Structure 1
Amino acid sequence: MAAHISGIELLRVSSILQDCCDQLAVLGHIMPDTDKRRAEADMPNKMKYVSCCRQFLAQVKSDTLAELQEKGTFQSLWQALEEEKKRKANLQDIIIREEEGCLRAKALQRQLLDIRKEKTCEARNEMTAHLKDQLQEMKVKTSLERKYVKSCAELLVYQGQKLNTRQEKQLEDEIKMLEGKLEEERRVHKEMESFLKEHQTVKVKLEYWVERYEKDMEDKQQELNALRTNKNNNLAQLQDLAKKVESKQVIIEDRLVKDNLRRQLERAQLERNAAIKIQSWWRGTVVRKCLGPYKKAKKPKSKERKKGKKK
């Protein structure tokens, strides 16, 4: 049944519900967070119950306040109460069934203990027979293993003896071979001693020639040093002469250049003087012989003389 509230009553109820929601929110901030698993594991049962109730009331009041502000009704409050009643009834049924299950489990445990007591003797007899069978199997298995180990040991001993015999033979052969080599070394040593005794003079001659060689090498080294000194001196003198020759060559080349230049200048001067003389002679010749611009003009003859001559 939906009841409608309006006017001042709506404001009062809304303010009361809002105040309750605020107080529950403050309580939620003070209390630990029950949504975390670790907090739920550490929190006592009473605190869990209080936290669940607080969350339920806060949700119901928030929904009711929203419904009052929108529609002016509080139908959600009735629905929440009915659902909570049903949930508690279901929880009560579950608790009753759990208690009945516990009682039944205890009865079954008693029956199981009685059955176990009856079957204990039979189980012991069966276990004894089983252990005897296992003991017999172990004896047979141990006997077989002992025989196998014994045969393996005998085989290893036989193989070891055979291997030792072969190694002994190899060692004897090596001893004989080494004795033969030792005898050969002794013979060679004696021959070397006799050879050295017979050729002792070779050693004396060798020492003499070594000393002679060293002395000759010293003399030749001194001669070589003297030759190197003379070579260095001659090289220095040659370098000085080369420098002098080079300087003289430069002087000679300079003189040759100057002489050539002087000859060219003298030749040019001679050519210039000869040209002047030739020009003077030519001018004199032209003037004397009245050639060119100095040629004399011819005088005109009178007509009478021409006529008289014609007659």
Structure 2
Amino acid sequence: MCLSRVQSLAVAAVLEDCSDELDVLGLAVALRADKERGPAKAQEKARLTNLRRDCQSISQQVLKLSSELEEKQSFSTLLATLEEVKQEREAKDMKRQTKTQLTQRITTLRRQQAELQQKDCALKETSMLAERLQEQLNDQTIRENTKKILEEKSLALQLEQVLSNNSKAEKQLEDQREMVQIQLTEEKQVHEKSVIFLQNRQKELQLLQQQWKGRTMNMLQEKKKEVASVCCRRTLNVDKLAEMRRKIREMEQVVMEDREEQEKLRQQQMEARAATKVQKWWRGCMARRGLGSFKKADDKKGEKKKRKKKEVMKKK
């Protein structure tokens, strides 16, 4: 969109005033930031420095826009600047989102790692419990064997005593022997059942441990792949950000060079105007006082007046 020459000059004058006011505001903010001292006012000082930086950047953009309005009667620079600011904000938002996603994934990975460690500890505890039960079972079998030996010895002594004492006790001894055999068979059955149960339980725990180990290995591989993909994305985003920063620096350098050239042209124009004003003033002084080249013209006028007076006197 183009404006007329008068409109562009009026807008440029207003923008120059705004730039001067922004410079004054930046200086005031800088003075206030210098006054802010102490650890309690560090946040206020940082805010004031950011405000001063914003004022300087806005003042630069305003000057650039005013120069464009004076030269081209358009404001395409403003649109380009807005587009650049929009792209910078989008890049910052993208970087913030990737950072939050990465932190969330890291926290989930840590939580899953802690869960896996807890499960591994539980499996270790179950294996230790199985080992303890096996030890207890072995101790129980040893005790039962010793008990059986002692009982057999006591029964043998009792049988000898009964045989020596009375023949009637033989029947009682046989009954007791049968009862003991029944008890022994029952105890053997219970022992065998307990051993089978513990062996089955140990096998189940071993299978469960192997399954959990396989699952943990698969989960770790998947999480490593996810971390690698996140790192790749992060490197790509960092490269894009570096490229954008390089372009921004180049654009800022071009803007500063253009601004310096505009400042030089402006200074030359001001010097030329001042020189023309001085020349006009000097010529006016020379003309009023009849000095230099203006003196001859005044003399000729005086001679003409004298000749006219003489002619008039002669006629009379």
TM-score (norm 1): 0.33
Choose between structure 1 and 2: higher helix proportion. Answer: 2
Larger Rg: 1
Which structure exhibits the higher relative contact order, with contacts defined as CA atoms closer than 8 Å and separated by 6 or more residues? Answer: 2
**TM-score, length-scaled by structure 2:** 0.32
